[in-house]
Structures are given as C-alpha cells and as structure tokens.
Amino acid sequence: MKKIVVLNGSPHEHGCTATLVNEVIKGVGSQGTVVKSYHLSGMTIKACQGCRACSEKGRCVQQDGMQEILDEIASADGIVFATPVYMWQMSAQLKIAVDRLLPFLRPGYTSSLESGKKVLLAVTQGRTETSLFRHYFEHVGNNLLFLGFGSYKILIAGGTRQPEDLVNQTELLEEARQMGQWLVE
C-alpha cells in the first residue's frame, strides 16, 4: 500500500490550493494508495526554536501537530507541499512546517529519510505568468533534496483568486492528475 502525505499551507481549507491538490489526488487514484492530508493553518504547529535538540535525539522536542506529520512523512512514498504564493514565496504556514523537517537532517548532513521519496510542490498564485516564481520553488525543491527527499516536481496554477478560476484551466488540471500518477508510479 502506497502512502501520499499532503501538507496544505493555504489558510483556505477549500480554496484554490485545495482545489489544485484535489486534482492531484484524482491522479493518485483510490486503488492501493492511502492519502493523509493536513490543513496546516488549522493545526497547532509552532515555529522551529532552533534548539538543535533534534540533532542529538533525532526527534523534535516540541509536542505539537508536527510530530504526527514527521512520522507520516517518514513512512510516505510521496509528499505534496501545497501553498498559495504569498509575497513571492510559500505561505508562512508551510514555511514553519518545512523548517520543522530539520530532525530528518542527521550529523554530517546525512539524512534519516529512506531514499526515493517523491515531492510535488503544488502552487497557486494570483499572477497569470507561471514562470514568475518557479525559480524560487526550484530553490525550495533543491533544499528538500538536500534534506534527503528523492526527487521533486513543480506544478503551478496561475491567475487564481478563487477556486472557480481553475475550472477552465483544463491543461493545468490534466497536468495535476499526471503529477498525481507520477507520485505513485
């Protein structure tokens, strides 16, 4: 049984980002795959305190919602990091979760993650030019490779202010379903 973990960093549980993720999940399919979704904005996840306890213990000492997410990522085959673009970047909710991935980084810049995990960066943005922030998300993706994730792809929906703005973007929605398939291949 494959497992996909979704971290949605949008404050809107049923917003544009969630709509894009839903299409990715259609591509994942329901046969033989379990999908665990987290709406980060509705969870208690504190920012990394930089205490470095995780470098000794291998776990974060902050007992909050991130504990479960770290365990789920450790046993997942694919992870969707989903976010609206906020000020040319990922949302603060997702950035806090990304910082909290530090326990996967082991001494000597090795990783405790099993190899081969696939990452999809699923992004929505108000601006229509989807090339605008791609370099930033490549930077994010490369950081995730450094943390020990196996590979990443980027999916960007442009011109989205409300979920309905995605409805007529048929090519993009098809790309989203293909990304979902890729996650479980």
Binding site for ligand FMN (CB under 6 A): 10, 12, 15-17, 84-88, 124-127, 160-161
For 104, the token pair is 């996967």
Minimum CB–partner distance for residue 17 and ligand FMN (Å): 3
Q: State the residue number with the nearest CB to ligand FMN.
A: 15
Minimum CB–partner distance for residue 40 and ligand FMN (Å): 12
Decide if 137 contacts 155 (C-beta within 8 A). Answer: no
* C-alpha dihedral sign at 125, 134, 6, 2: positive
Minimum CB–partner distance for residue 181 and ligand FMN (Å): 23
Q: Determine whether 177 is exposed, middle or buried from the number of CB atoms within 10 Å of its CB (0-12, 13-18, 19+).
A: middle
Give the residue with the Cβ less far from ligand FMN, 62 or 91.
91
Give the residue with the Cβ less far from ligand FMN, 30 or 131.
131
Give the residue with the Cβ less far from ligand FMN, 115 or 170.
170
CA atoms of 142 and 154, how far apart (whole Å): 11
Minimum CB–partner distance for residue 161 and ligand FMN (Å): 5
Give the residue with the Cβ less far from ligand FMN, 49 or 162.
162
Give the residue with the Cβ less far from ligand FMN, 104 or 137.
137
Cross-strand pairs, 117: none
Candidates 56, 66, 73; CA nearest to 148 is 73
Interstrand relation of 78-84 and 33-39 (parallel, antiparallel or unpaired)? unpaired
Minimum CB–partner distance for residue 28 and ligand FMN (Å): 19
